[in-house]
Structure 1
Amino acid sequence: MAMVPADVVNEAGVTVVDVREYPDHDEWEVALDLLADFDTGWRPPTAWWDRLIDSAEMMGLSDAAAWCRWGRWESIHRTVRAELRLLSPAEGGRQTPVPGKGILRPLWDIGRRTAAGRPGFARGTHLGGVGAGVAAGRHRVGPPWSAVPSLWRHLQPGMTISMHEGRPTLGTATITETSYAR
């Protein structure tokens, strides 16, 4: 926990001082979850993520370890964060919930166009099993390991991109933060 700057606060308003109380009550999983959320307003180094991954694996928390691996990947490759709104089935959205854990790798209309003027979709990920039609909170949106990060670098906070599964639009995402090196 000494790696986290004292002034960093996660989205829930929790500080590293708050997290220190959980291990005292044998609430190690809660502490790990809160520590993995300290990536807003602070760029955790890969060593931070390595420690969280090791901790999650020692506790047998495979989902938490996978999330921390994603955080580590973001620390190296940068990311785009956005507020995601999924369309309801009545609006043409999915009839079933969006699968989590990186199972769905939707296409994103990020503003590129083909020579014919059609959208030049980019493959990206959506993490966090949000059900169809649910107004979602912050979810990570970014290129998967095999994507070309340079395709995403033009995105800026305030821009809106659309999420697709084939031609139909599944939702829209408004960019809230980018951390690509310029």
Structure 2
Amino acid sequence: MDVPELLASVSLLVPEEAATDNDISVRDVWDYLAHDEWQIALSLLEELGGGRPMPLTFWEQLAGAAEELGLGRSAAWCHWRCSEIRNGMIRADLTLRPVTEARRRTPVPGHGVLRPMWDIGNPSPDGGASVSVAGLWVEDMPVLEPGGRATVRLVPLTPAHWTHVGTGRRITMHEDRTVAGTAVVLEVRPPATAMPRR
């Protein structure tokens, strides 16, 4: 499919009554598609998909359209949302340790390329702490500076390790043996094991 067909197909997956906080609806998307404003239509679809659970197909096709348009960050975001559906997602308030207290000297990239280890309370076979890996996406920021604080989205690489993690739990981020940051869990969404495809 070409970009207009992909975007039209994605638009059909959005419930007609869906609207953003700014009252943008799928009708607005269709108006932009009719005027060949594909990038704006894609952006509106991303926004509409953020407010409600959407099927995996929605994000897969939107990623394909973003790739065709050469929109790398949008494509990465759509692929990230696919991972959230498959593996689950944890939103957390993360505070990184400052440069004076941690090994990290550079900002954490915000677009899902970092996969740090997390102490989420699982014991290791010898009784010590065990860590589990999760990808990290920083919401509304391109990077998170050392000592900074932001809301992040985590996608577990092994979802079964994270089933006991609930809202309010404090978890620690590691890039090596030292603590790189601490986070408080704000929201937990389990994997969509049987998400219907349209």
Question: Would you say 1:56 and 2:66 are equivalent positions?
Answer: yes
Query: Is 2:94–2:181's contact at 8 Å kept on the other side of the alignment?
Result: yes
What is the alpha-carbon root mean square deviation over aligned residues? 2.8
Give the counterpart of 1:17 among 21, 25, 28.
25
Q: 1:50–1:103: structure 2 CA closer, same or farther, 3 Å change rule? A: closer
| Residue 141 of structure 1, CA deviation | 0.9
Query: Is 1:93–1:133's contact at 8 Å kept on the other side of the alignment?
Result: no
| Residue 100 of structure 1, CA deviation | 4.1
Query: Is 1:19–1:31's contact at 8 Å kept on the other side of the alignment?
Result: no
Give the counterpart of 1:86 among 80, 85, 96.
96
Question: Would you say 1:131 and 2:131 are equivalent positions?
Answer: no
Q: Which amino acid aligns with 2:32?
A: P
TM-score of the pair, normalised by structure 2:
0.73
Q: 1:45–1:117: structure 2 CA closer, same or farther, 3 Å change rule? A: same
Deviations 1:111-154 (A, max 9, x none): 011233321001111124322221113x21121xxx32100111
Count of residue pairs the alignment pairs up: 175
Alignment partners' CA distance in 1, 2:18 and 2:179:
40
Q: 1:176–1:37: structure 2 CA closer, same or farther, 3 Å change rule? A: farther
Question: Would you say 1:142 and 2:155 are equivalent positions?
Answer: yes
Deviations 1:51-73 (A, max 9, x none): 31122122111221121011112
Structure 2: give runs of 5+ residues left out of the alignment: 1-10, 194-198
Question: Would you say 1:107 and 2:121 are equivalent positions?
Answer: no
Alignment partners' CA distance in 1, 2:170 and 2:57:
33
Query: Is 1:19–1:34's contact at 8 Å kept on the other side of the alignment?
Result: no
Alignment partners' CA distance in 2, 1:4 and 1:93:
45
Q: Which amino acid aligns with 1:142?
A: V
Query: Is 1:19–1:35's contact at 8 Å kept on the other side of the alignment?
Result: no
Structure 1: give runs of 5+ residues left out of the alignment: none
Alignment partners' CA distance in 2, 1:19 and 1:88:
46
Q: What is the percent sequence identity of the aligned residues?
A: 35
Query: Is 1:86–1:132's contact at 8 Å kept on the other side of the alignment?
Result: yes
By percentage of residues, which structure has more helix?
Answer: 2
Residues 39-78 of structure 1: pairs in structure 2 closer than 5 A: 42-78=52-88
| Residue 110 of structure 1, CA deviation | 0.6
